[in-house]
Amino acid sequence: MPPGRIGARFEKLAREGRRGFIPYVTTGFPSLGDTREMVAGLAELGADVIELGIPFSDPMADGPTIQRSSQEALDNGTTVDDMFEVLRDLRRASDVPVVIFSYLNPVYSRGVDAFIREAVEAGADGILPTDLPLGADSELESRILESPLDLVRLVAPTTTPKRIREIALSSQGFVYYVARTGVTGAREELRSALAQEVSAVRSVSPLPVAVGFGVSTPGHARAVGAAADAAVVGSALVNRLAEGGVAAALALAGDLRRALDEAGR
Amino acid sequence: MTTPAGRAGRYGPYGGRYVPETLIPALDELTDAYAEARADPSFLAEFDALSADYVGRPTPLYRARRFETAAGVGPVYLKREDLNHTGAHKINNTVGQALLARRMGKPRIIAETGAGQHGVATATACALFDMECVVYMGMEDVERQSLNVYRMELLGAEVRPVKSGTRTLKDATNEALRDWVTNVRDTHYIIGSVVGPHPFPMIVRDFQAVIGREARRQILEVEGRLPRSVVACVGGGSNAMGMFHAFVEDGDVALIGVEASGHGLGSGHSSAPLSEGRPGVLHGSLSYLLQDADGQVAPAHSIAAGLDYPGVGPEHSHLLDSGRATYVSVGDAAAQRAFRELPGLEGIIPALETAHALAWVAEAGRRGEIAPPVAICLSGRGDKDVVHVSRLAGVDAGKGSAP
């Protein structure tokens, strides 16, 4: 199969010797209008993949920041249809790869095949279901794996070496390495063992490896960039969006983009 | 010990392990440790000894003759789980899982609780085994069940109020799962019902199955036959699974689960996913779930905090689809009436959760729609609910006089 938009983007990054920047946005937080401005701005400043989050009522893998943003988005009435609408709007202006970040139930509730069809039509390139680990539901996993959407899988610090290999071989687009045991959220420091762990994943993965969970500052981005192919930044951007609005969040995103470019040199 | 048929951890299509990757190794470790423990006579002997000497098993099967007269059906037997140490069936599971945690070398225990019964039972087991204990409890439940909060603290547990989402059991469970994801290496999560990712629904059912095993033997002794109806209330469904399990193969025994319909089915204020939900994924397993058209989990409501949960154990979903069990529902008002009636008839104050099962039997009995003999799981005692119900009735039991 020819590489999709995600694969093509990582090939381009590799040719240029650059590191990828993957920002996360909660759809509908603090408003749908802000989400539209955020994704357009992120595409413009050179995000390599955008993770577009579907807010969920029970985000058990997320820390306080994403919990609050999800709750507020739902209180605003945000729906899965809204997420598709944001995506369609973005596609009129940009071909930046987009991965839908979701808990399984909103996808399951719609019907997995119907969800995939709508997502592809709206212009999504991949999906990252937080609570669908390898082997949890092989039938459902196959339906995503065989669809045009990339199924992006996560590896955690607790994952055994044998399982890391299995996950890396069955992931699509890239492998997402969770930088620490725990929930999402901005942190002061990254763990010192991170570089070594990431290198263990890269050594068995045919796909690029992105690192997320706790990546908050340009300093973190440089450190992650030294070890991994890309950095995912979620809570720090959501925090900045909550505090200073779209302009402030995009300013942080610009700093992170530059920090990753420095790391790639 | 039986394991779920077919795919690992599945009950028909339900169950599974829909969790963040971080937890997968811990669930594998737990599955292996549990399989080893069940095959180890010393583990089983210690569990049985504690069940007898500490929990107080076997609990009696009591024939409730005055309740029979009022309900117009008999014989009716009550399986007295309220007589367990800590006053409910919950301790059967917490003692078992705490033993398992000790065996796995995990010194720290976490739990979620709604009404506080599972929290108290967990804190009790942790005191017994000298383990660190953190209990997550929704802020709303902390306020309505303050007695149980103090009880847990007396037992040495730390109670952490949860202020996110609906501030009830569902959100306490989310928070416990977040703690477990973070501290999984040294922490065991004692989940309180037959919910969550595999192997929890199986483990909790197995530790609770003693209820039905005893009841089956006891009723055979006194009646010389099996009951024709076995009834239990269903929130997450642990007392019901524990009661049903020994009877599942007895095709002539009707298994009846009673959900909480709160203000009524269709009102948007109920806790009856088997009656009006549809399959979905919450807290790591696929099961019937109260949810909106977009797959967002809907808030549940019941006067009984222990039933106030939008999901249900996956094995119940399978028993519903296969037709082996029937699920009915009873609302807040009928449950309160049953709560007030049983003390005067039998000298037993039932938990509000249990009152749902009693209310259904009384109504079905009067309509001639239930076949005797009947065995009801009296899952817990109602002391914890006295203040709450008295306030709803306009009598403040906390102050001792009517307004």
Catalytic residue among A48, A62, A125, A150: A62
Q: What is the pLDDT of residues B125-165, one digit of tens each?
A: 999 999 999 999 999 889 878 889 999 999 999 999 999 88
Contact between chains at A61 and B178 (C-beta distance less than 8 A): yes
- Provide the 3-class DSSP secondary structure of residue B115: coil
**Is it the case that residue B396 has pLDDT exceeding 70?**
no
Q: What is the pLDDT of residues A200-216, one digit of tens each?
A: 999 999 999 999 999 99
* Nearest alpha carbon to residue B36 among B102, B131, B129, B100: B100
> Which tokens hold the place of B146?
């303050």
> Which tokens hold the place of B220?
């055979």
Strands B61-63 and B76-80, by their bridges, are antiparallel
Mean pLDDT of A161-184: 94
Q: Go through the domains of chain A in sequence order and give each one's CATH number.
A: 5-257 (3.20.20.70)
Strands B158-162 and B132-138, by their bridges, are parallel
Contact B378, B348 (CB under 8 A): yes
Q: Judged by CB atoms within 8 Å, which residues 136-175 of B form the interface with A? A: 164-165, 170-171, 174
* Strand order across the B61-63 sheet: B61-63, B76-80, B374-378, B229-233, B254-262, B325-331
- Provide the 3-class DSSP secondary structure of residue B3: coil
Q: Judged by CB atoms within 8 Å, which residues 120-159 of A form the interface with B? A: 130-134, 136-137, 153-159
Strands B76-80 and A150-151, by their bridges, are unpaired
pLDDT category at B115 given cuts 50, 70, 90 is confident
Closest Cβ opposite residue B25 in set A158, A167, A178: A158
Strand runs (DSSP E) across A142-252, as ranges? Answer: 150-151, 153-155, 175-178, 209-212, 230-233
Q: Does A191 touch chain B (CB under 8 A)?
A: no
Q: What is the pLDDT of residues A18-70, one digit of tens each?
A: 999 999 999 999 999 999 999 999 999 999 999 999 999 999 999 999 999 99
pLDDT category at B44 given cuts 50, 70, 90 is very high
**Is it the case that residue A135 has pLDDT exceeding 90?**
yes
Cα–Cα distance measured from residue A31 to residue B272, given in angstroms and rounded to the nearest whole number? 33
- Look over chain A and give the mean of its residue pLDDT values, rounded to a whole number: 95
Best mutation target, B21, B292, B309, to test chain A (most A CBs within 10 A)? B21
Amino acid at residue number A182: G
Which residues of chain A does B164 touch, with a Cβ-Cβ cutoff of 8 Å?
Answer: 64, 67, 71
B392 CB-side CA count, 13 A: 15
* Nearest alpha carbon to residue A148 among A176, A116, A177: A116
Peptide bond into B227 cis (omega under 30): no
Which residues of chain A does B20 touch, with a Cβ-Cβ cutoff of 8 Å?
Answer: 60-61, 130-131, 133, 154, 156, 178
Which residue does chain A place closest to B283, by CA atoms? A60
What's the predicted TM-score (pTM) here? 0.96
Which residue does chain B place closest to A136, by CA atoms? B17
Catalytic site residue A146?
A: no
Catalytic residue among A48, A51, A82, A197: A51
Q: Does A106 touch chain B (CB under 8 A)?
A: yes
Q: Largest Cα–Cα distance in chain B?
A: 59
Best mutation target, A56, A62, A109, A197, to test chain B (most B CBs within 10 A)? A109
Q: Does A100 touch chain B (CB under 8 A)?
A: no
pLDDT category at B4 given cuts 50, 70, 90 is very low
User: How would you class A265 by CB atoms within 10 Å of its CB: exposed for 0-12, middle for 13-18, buried for 19 or more?
Assistant: exposed
Residue B289 burial (CB count, 10 A): 25
Q: Does A118 touch chain B (CB under 8 A)?
A: no
The label of the residue with tokens 């549990």 reads B34
Which residues of chain A does B165 touch, with a Cβ-Cβ cutoff of 8 Å?
Answer: 57-58, 71
Q: Does A103 touch chain B (CB under 8 A)?
A: yes
| Residues of B belonging to the active site | 90, 112, 379
Q: Is B32 or B390 the better-scoring residue by pLDDT?
A: B32
Contact between chains at B295 and A167 (C-beta distance less than 8 A): no
Q: How many whole angstroms from its chain centre is CA A18?
A: 18
**Is it the case that residue B400 has pLDDT exceeding 80?**
no
